[in-house]
Amino acid sequence: MSTASGPVQTQAPVVGLFTGQHVLAEFAGIDASLLDDELFLRRTLEHVLDQAGATVCDVSSKQFEPQGVTVLALLSESHASIHTYPEIGALFVDVFTCGDRARPELAVRLLAEALGAATVQTKTIHRGWETS
């Protein structure tokens, strides 16, 4: 298409921003039975991610013997994971979301509350390009 002043320039719509937050956390002081309950952990992770504005595409998990569970959530915004250690009442959490719609720090806080964690240590890494 052109006008009297020349061709009309169109821009492709912005699908996503090359920016994100990666929250790494360790929780301790959690009831061992919760950390070995695969179904509870799957449902809880999916629920807190939803509450934090993330779009969950799929959830996969693995129950280990004699104990422990890993849960992975594929998000439209990226991913989340938990890796449990029931024998010491602890777990690792990793939530990475691209863009600025989802709130990974909120997801981690809600997960800590749902599990009744006595101690929570978090570190947030800002990734990609800064947005204004």
Could you confirm whether 79 is annotated as catalytic? Answer: no
Could you confirm whether 22 is annotated as catalytic? Answer: no
104 preceded by cis ω (within 30°)?
A: no
Say which of 47, 60, 83, 132 is annotated catalytic: 83
User: Residue 78: enclosing H or E segment and its boundaries?
Assistant: strand 78-85
Could you confirm whether 60 is annotated as catalytic? Answer: no
- Cβ burial 48-71 (10 Å sphere, 16+ → b, else e): bbeebebebeebebeeeeeebbbb
Rounded Cα distance between 46 and 33, Å, is: 19
Say which of 47, 78, 79, 126 is annotated catalytic: 78
Say which of 57, 79, 98, 126 is annotated catalytic: 98
Residues classed as catalytic: 78, 83, 98
